[in-house]
Amino acid sequence: MEKIREKYAIVGVGESNRSKNSGVTPLELALEAARVAIADAGLEAKDIDGFMSYSEMDSCSPHQVATYLGVRPKVVKEMFGGGSSTELLIAEAIGLIETGQVNTVLIYRSMNGRSGVRMGGGGFSIDALQNGFDGGSFIIPYGAGSPGQWFGLFATRHMHLNGLTQEHLGHVCTSFYEHAQRNPKAFFYGKPLTMEEYMKTAHLSSPFTKHDYCLESDEANAIIVTSTERAKDCKSVPVKILGMAAREVVSHAHYWKNIDEVAADYVAPQLYKAAGVSPEDIKVASIYDCFSWVVLRQLEAYGLAPKGEVGDFVSAGNLRMDGKLPTNTAGGMLSEGYTHGMNNVLEIVRQVRREYEGTDRQVEDTELAICTGWTGPDVAGAMILCK
């Protein structure tokens, strides 16, 4: 990846309306987000010749989106995937552009994640999970049937080994809820969270309270990737991709010899080598936050907080706007909305562009930014961005 350093950029970002009940199809949401991203880049739909998306049986196809935008694309790609799929598709888009297959790619995630297929509830049958999820037959019949229960097991062990407490999880939640108060589009805008309130909240699945879970929302997000050369013709400020580690897969969690490892432990060294920087150089972050603990584990994996000291790191307020590493500054998936992490990508692009200049939402130093993806302990990806 060193060979493509700063050769490619994100030139457009956009989102649809965010709600709990959209009343429209994922296709309509995707088209709304795509049109906003295209306008943000100063392009026309016909300038997009690659369309990509990921879903978990809950969306619309890239071919549909291209068709309704009036485009005959050169490449369409749809994949089954979750939290680290944005980074993977950006890497694939770069590969296609690098080899001359396409010029500009639109990547989107569209879902009725509250009113339609819900990640933690309706829309999936037990049989589908048990038979379609690798290793599902070993855990689902015994009551571990949702991501909160699966990740809670990993969180409990990691917290025990590293002296982490419920309050440390709470610092992640209260920091991100605080960010949401500056974002009128966030679900929890106007709903701040105090540590006292957090600590009084009952567990849904230990060690997670309702505040430790990501939201469910109906929405679509879209991003546009092209070369930095073509980006000169766009109206937006291009955000360059300094380095990527698109995806690392560790053998399935249930068969690991060392269940304390996560895929991000392997992604991190590849990422910093590709970008030619170190963790100390990172100034602002979007960290995948399907659960609060996942943030703690990634801060550790990417060297953003010393191993064994991540609890102290967040307790000191370092995720807040005036901290060492302002993180998930739109509120993240814990308090803004949920599109399998793509909303975090939109926010980090806007921070690096300095779109919030002159307001209390703009991070002071955005020279280098990290954005991470996490499908689970076994799959991860990340990228480092610059202006």
Residues marked active site are found at 288, 338
| Cα 74 from Cα 58, distance rounded (Å) | 24
Q: Take residue 179 and report the two structure tokens written for it.
A: 């960010």
| Cα separation, 16 vs 25, whole angstroms | 12
Q: Are 108 and 96 in contact (CB under 8 A)?
A: no
Which of 118, 105, 113, 89 minimizes the C-alpha distance to 26? 113
Pairing verdict, β 50-55 and 104-112: parallel
Distance, C-alpha 290 to centroid of its chain: 9
Please name the helix (run of DSSP H) or strand (run of DSSP E) that holds residue 370, with its range, or none: strand 369-376
CB 313 within 8 A of CB 299: yes
CA proximity to 187, closest of 155, 170, 210: 210
Query: Residues for the chain: how many in total?
Result: 387
Place of tokens 């990921």: 54
Cβ 187 vs Cβ 309: under 8 Å:
no
The dihedral region occupied by 299, where left means phi > 0, alpha psi between -120 and 50, and beta the remainder, is alpha
H-run or E-run covering 383: strand 379-386
Q: Which residues are paired to 80 by β-bridges?
A: 55
The H-assigned helical ranges of the chain are: 26-41, 62-68, 85-98, 126-132, 136-139, 147-162, 166-180, 195-200, 228-231, 264-275, 292-301, 310-315, 332-335, 342-353
Calpha distance 296→155 (Å, rounded):
9
Which tokens sit at 103? Answer: 């010029």
